[in-house]
Amino acid sequence: MATRASERSAEPMRIGVDEQGGLPLPWLGPAMQHAQALERSHALLLQGPAGAGHLEFAGLLAQAWLCEAPGRAGRGAMPCGRCASCHLVRTRSHPDLLLVLPDAWRARLGWLGDDEAGAKPDAKPSRDIRVEQVRQAIDWSHQTSGRGRGKLMLLHPADALNGPSANALLKTLEEPAAGLRLLLSSTDPERLLPTLRSRCQRLKLDLPDDAAATAWLQARGLDEPAPLLALASGSPLEALAWGEEGITPGWLAELPQRVAAGDASAFSGRPLPRAIDLLLKLAHDLMAQAAGGAPRFYIASRWPPPADMAGLVAWQRALLRAARHDEHPWNAALLVESLVTQATVLWPKAAAGRAPRNMPPLHSAR
Ligand SMILES: [Zn+2]
C-alpha cells in the first residue's frame, strides 16, 4: 500500500561492507548467494517488497562485482571490504560505478553534491529519473573502465524511470557497451515497461523474518517493535523510520478511536504523504474489521464499533484521491482535518464530532 515506504531518511545510508566485512543490513546475505549464480547476466532486476533494503543490497552487489580481492578470507560471494575498490564503492567515488537516482532521493540521502546532471538548483527535486540523467549515464558507459574490472550502472528505483528515460535506456539494455552491467531495483516490477523487464534477469530480495526484524529493531532502541513492524508491513527499515518520526505503540493503539472521534490533532506536524498513508492503512483495517476480519496494520489498537462499509469505501476513495495529489496540497493541515472529519460520518450512531458512547475516554497523543 505504501508506495513510498522505502523513501526514508532514517539512519545514514551505508553502501557495501565495512572493512571488517560487516553487512549494511544483516538480512542481505542469502540474496548475495543467489546473485552469485547469476554472475553472467549483464542486466539484473532486483525486486522485492518496499523496505527490504534495495539500495543497500545494490551497493553491496556493486562492491562485490568491482572488488579487486574477491574470495579473500573465504568470504565467498561477499566483497572483501579492504581493497581500494571496496573503499571507493563505500565512499561513492568509484570511477566505474554510477548511481542513477531521482534528485528527490539524492536530496533525502544527502547525496545531492554527487552529480548535478542538469538538476535545477531552485526547483523542487524531481521524483523521476530524468532523461538527461539517463543520457549522461549512457555517455559515461562508453568511457573506458577506470580500474579495468568493467563498469556498473545502478538505477534506483527503476520504477522512477519515466517514459522518455525508460525509452532512452532501452538500447543500452539491448546492446550494452563492452564490460557494462546494469542493476535496476524495483518494489513494483509490473510498473516497468515490459521491454525493460524482459531484458533483465530477476533477483528476489526478501524482508527478514519477524524474529530477525525484531532483534534488529531492538538493537536500535525500539523496545516494543511488533506494532511498528505491523504498520510497516514487516519492513524493519520502515518501522524504524516510523519510530524516528515519533510514532509509538501507544500512539498507534489510540489512533483508530481518535480518528473516529474526528480528532485530527494526531497528525499535526506530520508530512502530508505520511498522514495519508496512516489514514489509508486505517481505512484498510476498518474494512477488515467491518467484514469480521483482523486488522493488518494497527494490530494492538482499541477500535471503535465496526463502521458503515459503503461509507468506508467512499472515505478510502477520498484518501486515494488525496494521495495522488499530495505533491500540491493547497493546505496540508486543512486537508487532513477534512479527511478526518469525513471519517466521523462512518459511525452514524455517534453524535457528530463526538466519540461513540461505548468508547473509553481518549488520552492525549504520546
Ligand atoms: Zn574488495
- Name the pairing type of β-strands 180-186 and 151-155: parallel
How far does the centroid of ligand 1 lie from the alpha carbon of residue 326, in Å? 43
How far does the centroid of ligand 1 lie from the alpha carbon of residue 169, in Å? 29
How far does the centroid of ligand 1 lie from the alpha carbon of residue 66, in Å? 7
The average pLDDT across 231-252 equals: 95
The average pLDDT across 242-259 equals: 95
In terms of C-beta density within 10 A (0-12 exposed, 13-18 middle, 19 or more buried), how is residue 365 classed? middle
The average pLDDT across 333-338 equals: 92
pLDDT over threshold 70, residue 352: no
How far does the centroid of ligand 1 lie from the alpha carbon of residue 287, in Å? 51
**Residue 127 · residue 157 · CB < 8 Å:** no
State the pLDDT at residue 362: 40
pLDDT over threshold 80, residue 356: no
Which of 17-21, 318-322, 339-343, 349-353 is the least confident region?
Answer: 349-353
How far does the centroid of ligand 1 lie from the alpha carbon of residue 210, in Å? 32
Scanning the chain, the segments in alpha helix (DSSP H) are 29-37, 54-66, 84-90, 103-109, 131-141, 163-174, 194-197, 210-218, 226-231, 236-244, 249-260, 272-290, 309-324, 332-344
State the pLDDT at residue 1: 40
How far does the centroid of ligand 1 lie from the alpha carbon of residue 308, in Å? 59
The average pLDDT across 213-231 equals: 96
How far does the centroid of ligand 1 lie from the alpha carbon of residue 76, in Å? 12
How far does the centroid of ligand 1 lie from the alpha carbon of residue 266, in Å? 48
How far does the centroid of ligand 1 lie from the alpha carbon of residue 55, in Å? 19
pLDDT tens readout for residues 321-332: 998 876 666 688
Nearest residue to 319 (alpha-carbon basis) of 274, 352, 357: 274
How far does the centroid of ligand 1 lie from the alpha carbon of residue 72, in Å? 8
**Residue 95 · residue 52 · CB < 8 Å:** no
**Residue 56 · residue 14 · CB < 8 Å:** yes
How far does the centroid of ligand 1 lie from the alpha carbon of residue 172, in Å? 27
pLDDT over threshold 50, residue 360: no
How far does the centroid of ligand 1 lie from the alpha carbon of residue 69, in Å? 5
How far does the centroid of ligand 1 lie from the alpha carbon of residue 64, in Å? 7
pLDDT tens readout for residues 297-313: 999 899 998 888 999 99
Confidence of residue 60 (pLDDT cuts 50, 70, 90): very high
What is the domain partition of the chain in residue ranges? 26-204, 248-344
Confidence of residue 221 (pLDDT cuts 50, 70, 90): very high
Confidence of residue 366 (pLDDT cuts 50, 70, 90): very low
pLDDT tens readout for residues 116-133: 555 565 678 889 999 999
DSSP secondary structure code for residue 16 in this structure:
S
How far does the centroid of ligand 1 lie from the alpha carbon of residue 19, in Å? 9
Q: Is 268 helix (H, G, I), strand (E, B) or coil?
A: coil
How far does the centroid of ligand 1 lie from the alpha carbon of residue 78, in Å? 9
The average pLDDT across 330-343 equals: 90
Quote the percentage of the chain above a pLDDT of 90: 69
Confidence of residue 34 (pLDDT cuts 50, 70, 90): confident
The average pLDDT across 270-278 equals: 93
How far does the centroid of ligand 1 lie from the alpha carbon of residue 238, in Å? 30
Residue entry with cell 542513477: 100
How far does the centroid of ligand 1 lie from the alpha carbon of residue 20, in Å? 11
The average pLDDT across 16-38 equals: 87
State the pLDDT at residue 229: 97
Class of domain 26-204 (CATH, top level): alpha beta
State the pLDDT at residue 358: 43
State the pLDDT at residue 119: 56
DSSP secondary structure code for residue 161 in this structure:
B
How far does the centroid of ligand 1 lie from the alpha carbon of residue 138, in Å? 26
Which of 26-40, 90-104, 352-366 is the least confident region?
Answer: 352-366
pLDDT over threshold 70, residue 354: no
State the pLDDT at residue 115: 56
Q: Is 336 helix (H, G, I), strand (E, B) or coil?
A: helix
pLDDT tens readout for residues 152-209: 999 999 999 999 999 999 999 999 999 999 999 999 999 999 999 999 999 999 999 9
Q: What is the CA angle 175-137-61, rounded to 5?
A: 80
pLDDT over threshold 80, residue 315: yes
State the pLDDT at residue 363: 40
How far does the centroid of ligand 1 lie from the alpha carbon of residue 13, in Å? 19
pLDDT over threshold 80, residue 3: no
State the pLDDT at residue 188: 92
pTM of the model: 0.82
CA distances from 164 to 131, 138, 247, 354 (A): 6, 14, 39, 51
In terms of C-beta density within 10 A (0-12 exposed, 13-18 middle, 19 or more buried), how is residue 183 classed? buried
How far does the centroid of ligand 1 lie from the alpha carbon of residue 86, in Å? 4
Alpha-carbon distance of 119 to 347, in angstroms, equals 48
Quote the percentage of the chain above a pLDDT of 70: 86
Alpha-carbon distance of 137 to 249, in angstroms, equals 44
How far does the centroid of ligand 1 lie from the alpha carbon of residue 291, in Å? 54
How far does the centroid of ligand 1 lie from the alpha carbon of residue 57, in Å? 16
How far does the centroid of ligand 1 lie from the alpha carbon of residue 67, in Å? 4
State the pLDDT at residue 41: 79
- Name the pairing type of β-strands 43-47 and 201-204: parallel
